[in-house]
Structure 1
Amino acid sequence: MSLWVLVTLSFLMIHLVPGDPVRAALGMTAPTELVEAKRQALGLDDPLPTQYVHYLGNLLRGDLGESITSQLPVSETISQRLPATASLAVLAFLVAVAVAVPLGVAVAVATRRGRRRRTELAFAGSSVVLGAIPDFLVGVALVAVFAVGLGWFPVAGRTDASSYVLPVLALAIGPAAVLARIVRVEMLAVLETDYVRTARAKRLPPRRIHLRHALPNAVTATLTLGGMLLASMIAGTVLVENVFSWPGLGSTIVASIVTKDYPVVQGTVLVYGLGVLVINTLVDVALAVLDPRSTIGEL
């Protein structure tokens, strides 16, 4: 159902935009004959139900259409740009998890039962602030300080490994702060359970209690939020890529919107939506494996 809604909305996108998208893409000075020929080539002169059937048939064959401006297949454009976006989102997710999980666990252990109140307040306040700042604003600040001011990293572009640092941080900082708060809350709840108290009564080492007994049982909510964060990171690449002139799908979709190249916009939106659906499905499956009581596990 979700896939059908996504496909239908991506199809309707070109028809919901006011005006003639072909005329807008080719320019107001383009000859009428050229505009009409391009409309016929795109099938925009056919009745809407016919266009929808053709669109579904083309998707089943893996045909996403042809770019109005570059005349290249949309699938070729996406295949060239997708690896840059995927690598950016995956690296940012791994960095966010690598920072958030240890930080959330450490703060939960340190502030359990009202201890270290100042640490708790500092963590809560800073995580809320960092989680509320949009990714692209974080990217602009990172460029201003570490690229322009200090000259430590490239300002823009995708060159060597150093070019990944700032865009990955721009995508990871906010989600890491949000995820760390969730890890802390879940960890605090687990630390007060009977089996953890039993482990303490057996005088097991704190490291073993926290990592082998408490953390695995706090992972369910963390995994759910982690999947949502990865999906949001994929969407967040749209603006971050434009801040860093990153050659991925995010910069492609913005450039296509500016040039009114709606076949490319349609195909890119469809890829982004499919990515989110796949991630959500994988998270559901993982939850079913880790927690047999989950709904999907009962189906």
Structure 2
Amino acid sequence: MSLASSVAPAPRVGAPARPWLRFAVRRLGRLLVSLWVLVTASFLMIHLIPGDPVRAALGPTAPASLVAARRADMGLDDPLLVQYWHYVQHLLTGDLGTSMISQLPVSQIVSQRLPATLQLALLAFVVAIAVAVPLGVSMGVLTRRGHGRRTELAFTTSSVVVGIVPDFLVGVALVYVFGVNLGWLPVAGNDTPDAYVLPVLSLAIGPAAILARIVRVEMVSVLEADFVRTARAKRLPARTIYLGHALPNALTASLTLGGLLLSGMVAGTVLVENVFAWPGLGSTIVSSILNKDYQVVQAIVLVYGVGVLVVNTLVDVALALIDPRSTIRED
């Protein structure tokens, strides 16, 4: 065998970037397809509602001429494909339509209500992470190698019970205890800082319990890994072993679940906002459903769906940054 044939070919410039490029293209393609499905579903929502949505919004006593004029203004008399094309065009320009009830632009209604919903969901997510990660790490350290059986049983049982309670029931219980009985905190609105406490806790308690269980399980598994044993053999401080070596490796699965929990929190604001009369998208969509203002309902469903898709995409990117080899190879 010649020397030239035995030497391995040099890697081409830019080859390491190809897995990242494939990863980015695949994720972008999935996001675009998901957005198209979401847009199509939101468009069909009005057409799948039994009866005439315009008549339902205007009421049974509205003159037929007014109903016909409103349908013509909304383009509901055009062929379905033409309506779909116009709907997509308007979305690309930021036009979400006009409210059937208030005659205000739907984009204006959404922009006024969206900040309150985002504040509620993001604050609840921060609280859930701040509680779940330290709690899960502590339980993982205390229950590793079969130690602390009673502690593990008590933690697992309580986290399961708390995690399965719906957010709105947690909210009702918090209102009854801290708002009605004790009178410590307000139970409606978001005018003062203390008004955030109960709604945020309502959204955060259940996800925090679920995430803490996952962090504990991952932490117990990582603490049995060879690199942790090596770190102990080097007599590194416990803080360095747990926080510097074990925790980053235990957070991969937890980050995936955390992103899903954030998506669930955004959706969970619908019920929690109605419990606390929170001026966000959740209370707006419920009132719009009751008033049969389907243009507003359509837009808010679209906003919620886009939020979930964006969060899931960001989680995929974060996982790729934390563990690029496994994530990109599997992709």
Do both share a fold (TM > 0.5)? yes
Q: Residues 163 and 206 of structure 2 are in contact (CA less than 8 Å); yes or no, is this contact kept in structure 1?
A: yes
**Which 10-residue stretch deviates more, 285-294 or 95-104?**
285-294
1:152 and 2:219 aligned: no
Identify the residue that residue 238 of structure 2 maps to in structure 1. 206
| Structure 2 equivalent of residue 12 of structure 1 | 44
Q: Is the 8 A contact 1:167 1:241 kept in 2?
A: yes
Q: How does 1:1-299 map to 2 (within 5 A)?
A: 1-296=33-328
Q: Do 2:174 and 2:198's aligned partners in 1 also have CA atoms closer than 8 Å? A: yes
The TM-score, its normalising length taken from structure 1, stands at: 0.98
Mapped contact 1:156–1:163 kept (Cα < 8 A)? yes
CA contact (8 A) 1:287 1:294 kept: no
State the SS of the aligned residue for 2:324: coil
Query: 1:295 Cα deviation (Å)?
Result: 3.7
State the alpha-carbon separation in 2 of the partners of residues 287 and 212 from structure 1. Answer: 18
**In structure 2, distance between residues paired with 1:12 and 1:105:** 46
Q: 1-side partners of 2:326 and 2:202: how far apart? A: 33
What secondary structure does 1:293 align onto? helix
Q: Which amino acid aligns with 1:224?
A: T
Contact between 1:171 and 1:236, CA under 8 Å: does it hold in 2?
Answer: yes
Report which of the two structures shows the higher radius of gyration computed on alpha carbons. 2
Retained in 2: the 8 A contact 1:104–1:181? yes
Question: Which segments of 5 or more consecutive residues in structure 2 lack a partner in the other structure?
Answer: 1-32
Shift, 1:106, TM fit: 0.2
How far apart in 2 are the matches of 1:78 and 1:297? 40
Helix, strand or coil at the partner of 2:62: coil
Q: Please identify runs of 4+ aligned residues in structure 1 that moved more than 6 A.
A: none
Q: Is the 8 A contact 2:121 2:203 kept in 1?
A: yes
Q: Deviation per CA, 1:191-231, whole angstroms, max 9, x where unpaired?
A: 00001011111111111110001001111101101100000
Q: Is the 8 A contact 1:157 1:247 kept in 2?
A: yes
CA distance, structure 1, for counterparts of residue 290 and residue 321 of structure 2: 44
CA distance in 1, matches of 2:103, 2:236: 67
Aligned residue type for 2:98: E
Query: TM-score with structure 2 length normalisation?
Result: 0.89
